[in-house]
Structure 1
Amino acid sequence: METTLQLTIDCADPRRLVAFWSEALGYVPEPPPSGHATWRAYWEAAGVPEEELPDGAGDVPESIVDPAGRGPRVWFQLVPEPKAAKNRIHLDLKVGGGREVPLAVRTRRVTATVERLVAAGAGVLRVTDEPDAGSYAVLLQDPEGNEFCVV
């Protein structure tokens, strides 16, 4: 049996996080299966009872996919409760190129990505700038407060 990975992010506003994380990851909103205008239409055709589909569920994409097909699908699951504590797991967006790349180049790449994501709705929580250790990273939060790093 093959195992695949889907990342699920609990949230209050799937539409907002679909837009943000599409920008952050270079992903695209996942289109509904062939023959269906929306995910809701697909779920209804599959027999999901109406009472299990909250208002607006599936009317817009609630998941994103890697257009190259390499990364995992990300599903934004609507939940009633707000985020309450620090994440116990987070994403690292590795844009710097690794330690083989000079620190000044990595820093520029990270900074450019952070600026783009802040413009898209992220907030900066902490900058780790340790040139003696060859390290530069930024801890951010998405529009709903989920922490992630750009390194």
Structure 2
Amino acid sequence: MDVTMQLTIDCVDPQRLVAFWCEALGYVPEPPPEGHLNWRDYWTAMGVPEEELPPGAGMAPESIIDPAGRGPRVWFQRVPEPKVVKNRLHLDLKVSGGRDVAIAVRMQRVNAMVERLTSVGATRLRILDEPGEDHFAVVLQDPEGNEFCVA
């Protein structure tokens, strides 16, 4: 059996999260299939009735892809309600180089990424650096409150 995977994130404003997560992951907005002006045009060509599509859905990219083709597609699914509870699943953005790298260098790399992401809309929640653990990470929230870690 051939299984593929995409990550789906419920959100109120897909375009805001497309821009943020492209910056965070080095991804690009997913273009519509060839021959279609946008995703809405594609969906209606595939038989989805226009009246079943939310207003504005598919007019701008609502998914992102890894330009190198290694990572999963991420789709930002528009939902009417905002996030209200803690994530049960979160992303870890690994930028430090791992435990083979000196802790001071890892901290510098993590902090540089945290500064970059807070400048484009992330919110810093807490630092994970238990004494004696040889670990350093920062917990952040994306612009809609979804938690993730930079480690």
TM-score by shorter chain over 0.5: yes
* Unaligned stretches of 5+ residues in structure 2: none
Note the C-alpha offset of 1:110: 0.3
Note the C-alpha offset of 1:56: 0.5
Note the C-alpha offset of 1:132: 2.4
What code does the residue aligned with 1:97 have? G
Q: Kindly report the root-mean-square deviation, in angstroms, between the aligned alpha carbons of the 2 structures.
A: 0.8
Q: Distance in 2 between matches of 1:24 and 1:71?
A: 13
Contact 1:12 1:78 in 2 (8 A): yes
Give CA-to-partner distance per residue, 1:101-136, whole Å, 9 cap, x none: 111111011000000000010000001223522111
Range 114-123 or range 46-55, more displaced: 46-55
User: What TM-score, normalized by structure 1, do the two folds share?
Assistant: 0.98
User: What TM-score, normalized by structure 2, do the two folds share?
Assistant: 0.98
Match of 1:149? 149
- 1:36 has 2:36 as partner: yes
* Unaligned stretches of 5+ residues in structure 1: none
Aligned length: 151
Match of 1:48? 48
What code does the residue aligned with 2:41 have? A
Match of 1:87? 87
Q: Distance in 2 between matches of 1:11 and 1:138?
A: 23
What code does the residue aligned with 1:147 have? E
Identity %: 72
> Deviation above 2 Å: which 4+ runs of structure 1?
129-132
